[in-house]
Structure 1
Amino acid sequence: MTSKPPPLFPRLARDALSQRIAQALTEAIVSGRLKPGDRVSESAIAREMGTSRAPVREAGRLLESAGLLVSKANRGFFVRTITADDLDSIYELRLCIEREAAARLVRVGGVAGVVPDLHLQLDEMTGRSADGQVIHQIAADLQFHRLIVKNSGNSRFLAVFDTLASEIQASTALIDRVFDDPHKIARNHLLIIDALETGDEGEARAAMDYHIGVAREAVVNHFRVLEAGHPAPPPRKVP
């Protein structure tokens, strides 16, 4: 007899099921266990998690609103396929939010309070860059940026950022490596901290413009090459 494969999703208690199922699905998508175009089977997930199909369906609707799933009539939910144009739009919106979040952080006097946490996150990023797992590096990188957005004090900025972060993780989990030196990427975040510590809103905006702009160009162009059916380009040198 062959043994059954381990379930993809854990069984859950019945409190806040839809939100917890949505989180489990998000983690499966951003880690690459659920791929773009994969069907999200309500019955299979409900069976593995030990629940009914209703909260799974509600979780699907939540992730459809977040841009991670799409629904098809009479067929259910599928993991959204993100195009290069989609990703470019995501980065454009991210840039608008993070530029102003950095400036607002300076304006409200929150820099000194968050800088120690930013340095701790840089240490995490540097450590993650050695494990060779792109998804871990992306998560650590996004957490650095989330600290800035969160401490800016604008809750709407944070809500949008969290949605964008899930989409960025889901899409970039599909590619091997864009830049040639993950350690240098981590160190380049020091330029953002330096700009914040000047106390100049313009410097903070400019640093974020440059940092996200470089990532936007590299990641979007990488996707365009793959969409055209060409082999993945070699990793870029970190500027």
Structure 2
Amino acid sequence: MTTTTSGFATIQQRDLVNQIADMLTEALLKGDFAPGVHLAEAQLARDFGVSRAPVREAARLLESRGMLVSQPRRGFFVRTFNAAELDDVYDLRLCLERHAVRLLAGKLTAEMEAALDAQLETMRRVANDGTALQQIEEDVAFHRMLCQFSGNQRLVRVFDELCHEMRFCILLIGQLYDDPAQVAESHQPVMDALRTRDANACEAALDYHIGIAQQRVGEMFREREGQ
């Protein structure tokens, strides 16, 4: 069964909940729904051309990913973040990626190194001619590769879940924490450390890289909270 929706791409009946969740995620990351906005279940069901049940299940999935919150008898709302919650996201991310680079340090192959270098070049390219969403996605892709190349697939799955919140936090600010070209270049020291195959050097480079991002994004959130 194929249904043409209003305002959304055509979706297939198979895996309907995940498709709706993916489309809502894209809309949230693009800023189509402001923080705190109520997502009207009935209207979304009409937009997608489906019943309310898969929309509700998709919203529950996004709630588990930290992008929506539910209120009894009121439905689902776009999540808002504060600086303390943001710190929690970055702290957990740092724990995951520290472990990933320590695992990766002793097993980095020429193919892995080439793939990471290529991703860094992609980040440099989109820094000049890409959208903010593309810049964030390519940044996340680099860090996901670190986790993937570590060989721990459970770590990758946890990283993927956490990154839904991380992307959302950054997009709530409406911009990257620094000039996009500078953000891309800030990954070079991580690559340089990986080439040493020294786990301590890799962890130190990552600590600095993510620590700077956490500090600057946190400052921007605190400025927003003070408005």
What range describes the TM-score normalised by the shorter chain of this pair? over 0.9
Distance 1:176 1:22, change over 3 A: closer
Residue 150 (structure 2) pairs with residue 152 (structure 1): yes
Distance in 1 between residues matched to 2:189 and 2:198, nearest whole Å = 14
**1:23-70 alpha-carbon deviations (Å, 9 max, x no partner):** 111111112112211112222222121211111111111111111111
Alignment check: 8 A CA contact 1:22 1:59 kept: yes
Residue 170 (structure 2) pairs with residue 172 (structure 1): yes
Distance in 1 between residues matched to 2:14 and 2:217, nearest whole Å = 39
Q: Which moved more, 1:172-181 or 1:154-163?
A: 172-181
Residue 105 of structure 1, CA deviation? 1.1
Residue 13 (structure 2) pairs with residue 14 (structure 1): yes
Q: Which moved more, 1:175-184 or 1:214-223?
A: 175-184
Q: Which moved more, 1:110-119 or 1:44-53?
A: 110-119
Report the 3-state secondary structure (helix = DSSP H, G, I; strand = E; otherwise coil) of the residue aligned with 1:82: coil
Report the 3-state secondary structure (helix = DSSP H, G, I; strand = E; otherwise coil) of the residue aligned with 1:173: helix
Alignment check: 8 A CA contact 1:12 1:51 kept: no
Name the residue aligned to 1:66: 65
Distance in 1 between residues matched to 2:176 and 2:148, nearest whole Å = 27
The AA in structure 2 aligned to 1:74 is: R
Distance in 2 between residues matched to 1:128 and 1:178, nearest whole Å = 13
Q: State the identity %.
A: 43
Name the residue aligned to 1:205: 203
Residue 145 of structure 1, CA deviation? 0.5
Distance in 2 between residues matched to 1:175 and 1:132, nearest whole Å = 18
Name the residue aligned to 1:191: 189
* 4+ runs deviating over 4 angstroms: none
Report the 3-state secondary structure (helix = DSSP H, G, I; strand = E; otherwise coil) of the residue aligned with 2:129: coil
Unmatched runs of 5 consecutive residues or more in structure 1: 1-5, 230-239
Name the residue aligned to 2:160: 162
Query: More helix by proportion, 1 or 2?
Result: 2
Alignment check: 8 A CA contact 1:178 1:222 kept: no
Name the residue aligned to 1:40: 39
Report the 3-state secondary structure (helix = DSSP H, G, I; strand = E; otherwise coil) of the residue aligned with 2:97: helix
Residue 179 of structure 1, CA deviation? 4.6
Q: Which moved more, 1:171-180 or 1:20-29?
A: 171-180
| C-alpha RMSD of matched pairs (Å) | 1.6
Distance 1:118 1:76, change over 3 A: same
Alignment check: 8 A CA contact 2:126 2:134 kept: yes
Alignment check: 8 A CA contact 2:108 2:197 kept: no
Residue 214 (structure 2) pairs with residue 220 (structure 1): no
**1:162-219 alpha-carbon deviations (Å, 9 max, x no partner):** 1221111112113244555321221221111111111111111111101000000000
What is the aligned counterpart of 2:116 among 118, 136, 140? 118
Report the 3-state secondary structure (helix = DSSP H, G, I; strand = E; otherwise coil) of the residue aligned with 2:73: coil
Name the residue aligned to 1:79: 78
Unmatched runs of 5 consecutive residues or more in structure 2: none
Distance in 1 between residues matched to 2:66 and 2:81, nearest whole Å = 9
Alignment check: 8 A CA contact 1:39 1:79 kept: yes
Residue 7 of structure 1, CA deviation? 3.5
Count of residue pairs the alignment pairs up? 223
Distance in 2 between residues matched to 1:185 and 1:172, nearest whole Å = 13
Name the residue aligned to 2:49: 50
Q: Which moved more, 1:202-211 or 1:159-168?
A: 159-168
Q: Which moved more, 1:6-15 or 1:65-74?
A: 6-15
The AA in structure 2 aligned to 1:157 is: L
Report the 3-state secondary structure (helix = DSSP H, G, I; strand = E; otherwise coil) of the residue aligned with 2:128: coil
Distance in 2 between residues matched to 1:7 and 1:168, nearest whole Å = 29
